[in-house]
Structure 1
Amino acid sequence: GDTVIVTAASSSVGLAAIQIAKSVGAIPIATTRSRDKQDALLEFGADHVIATDYEDLPARVHEITGGKGARVAFDPVVGAMLPKLADALAPHGILFVYGALNVDATPFPLFPVLGKMLTVHGYQYKQIVSDAQRLERATRFILDGLASGALKPVIDRTFTLDQIVDAHRYLESNQQFGKIVVTV
């Protein structure tokens, strides 16, 4: 029943996060910059989609959650997005940061963090793979999800190695929905 904000939602990690949220009964709110991918994200399973270039993220999240805010945000972008995510979270919310796609300075949202008693958690895969018990639980969760169909890898396009330039151009165009694969 928790609400989860998934930024960069049409990326392979974002799509996996939507599937994981759905599989555990959470309500995923997907974010994307433009409206181009809204329908695809809704069809994929996001309960709500916010186009951040056109909509006020905190206002929409509070509208969707009846004023409560989201319990979790999962973000690889940061930059100017971080304060907006903090504003969109509920008291005692958790902001997982797992990347820095935006290379601009990231302002720290001090007052929302203090006022709402938020947790900002840096995440790397090492937290799981360096702990045998956590790795076993995570592996079991993923394999069970794949077996049940709750988790499905999403391949947008496949390129051959001699098409690597085209693959990079496609990736840079931000048109992909899921993973781009280059076969050798």
Structure 2
Amino acid sequence: MAKTIIIEAHGGPEVLTLVDRPVGDPGPGEIRIRHKAIGLNFIDCYQRSGLYPMQMPAALGREAAGIVEAVGEGVTHLKVGDRAAYAAAVSGAYCEARVMPAAQVCPLPEGISFEEGAAMMLKGMTVEYLFHRTTPLKAGDTVLFHAAAGGVGLIACQWARSEGIHLIATAGSAAKCALALENGAEQAINYATEDFPKRVMELTGGKGVDVVMDSVGATTWQGSLDSLRPLGMMISFGSASGPVPAFSLAALAGKSLKVTRPTLFTHIGPHEACQAIARHLFDKVLSGDVRIHIDQRFPLAEVRAAHEALEARKTTGSTILTV
């Protein structure tokens, strides 16, 4: 048996319930992993609320790290006793232990702690695909990155600095802007007090940025488009403020803009791609180019408070659940 957080209906944090569930043994292509730490992400809130509907009852959580306890037939990249971490397409990480598909579980290097592993996989692999697999980026390019003081954002600030990419950060307070600057952003805009598209144009001499990376969604959508240079790329990869409203393709024509809506789980679906993205992330962390900020920790049983803090924008860096 393993303590597990489930929901039986979509709703607010109050629907999160702690139960005991049987774990079982892995089948072909599966492993059983006992968690040491679990990551918290906005996608968990989207699933809980119903923005991303799930069949009930549902277990939440996409990211964790721990020890492999059992390995099913056909699994060759992991063995019993291995340290491992994952961001997985199959939810269910909010638990002490689980059986899950092995393809997206990655061996965790000794130089990276379980807490770091749980805090970095979904967020760090997101940054890897944004910078290396979505649109060509090179040293000297300029990126506008929203919510830059969050878990994904702080990794992105450091990643950009390590590759000579100019990153303009946005965040919702002066303190969060300062945190983004400390982690490698070259400029920071407080979008709670400033007109961020206007400020972007001032910072870029009226040219606009090459790429916008936007996980906020509804409230930043139009301003993001306005911040792009001609032929610029808009990457909308999240909806923290709500989904992007419907728009006409003609709205892109004035500057011949490009728009994409990628997801991590498409990129890491193939086993080899997942492992390669994870290795690139691990190399960034082990080299010291990227440091994982874990700014909040909640016991698994206090997951409701963790969701409340995340949705209220009271967090910085990464948040983990401890078991």
Normalising to structure 2: TM-score of the pair? 0.53
1:59-138 alignment, distance < 5 Å: 59-103=198-242, 106=245, 108=247, 110=249, 113-131=252-270, 134-138=273-277
**Matching residue of 1:44:** 183
What is the CA–CA distance in structure 1 between the aligned matches of 2:248 and 2:194, rounded to whole Å?
20
**Letter of the structure 2 residue corresponding to residue 127 of structure 1:** T
**Letter of the structure 1 residue corresponding to residue 293 of structure 2:** V
What is the CA–CA distance in structure 2 between the aligned matches of 1:76 and 1:154, rounded to whole Å?
19
Structure 2 unmatched ranges of 5 or more = 1-139
CA RMSD of superposed structures (Å): 2.1
Number of corresponding residues:
184
**Letter of the structure 2 residue corresponding to residue 138 of structure 1:** I
User: Whose Rg is larger?
Assistant: 2
**Matching residue of 2:169:** 30
Kept in 2: contact 1:79–1:107 (CA 8 A): no
**Letter of the structure 2 residue corresponding to residue 183 of structure 1:** T
**Matching residue of 1:152:** 291
- More moved, 52-61 vs 98-107: 98-107
Deviations 1:62-115 (A, max 9, x none): 111111111111111121311111110111111111111122662537555211
What is the CA–CA distance in structure 2 between the aligned matches of 1:98 and 1:39, rounded to whole Å?
24
Distance 1:130 1:165, change over 3 A: closer
Structure 1 unmatched ranges of 5 or more = none
Distance 1:81 1:92, change over 3 A: same
**Matching residue of 1:170:** 309
**Letter of the structure 1 residue corresponding to residue 182 of structure 2:** E
Deviations 1:106-165 (A, max 9, x none): 253755521111111101013321345644542332122112111221100212234434
Kept in 2: contact 1:83–1:107 (CA 8 A): no
What is the CA–CA distance in structure 1 between the aligned matches of 2:203 and 2:263, rounded to whole Å?
29
SS of the aligned residue for 1:130 comes to: coil
SS of the aligned residue for 2:174 comes to: coil
What is the CA–CA distance in structure 1 between the aligned matches of 2:307 and 2:274, rounded to whole Å?
32
Query: Percent of aligned positions with the same letter in both sequences?
Result: 35
Kept in 2: contact 1:5–1:73 (CA 8 A): yes
What is the CA–CA distance in structure 2 between the aligned matches of 1:97 and 1:115, rounded to whole Å?
19
1:58 aligns with 2:180: no
Higher helix share: 1
Distance 1:114 1:143, change over 3 A: same
Q: CA deviation at 1:16?
A: 1.6
Normalising to structure 1: TM-score of the pair? 0.88
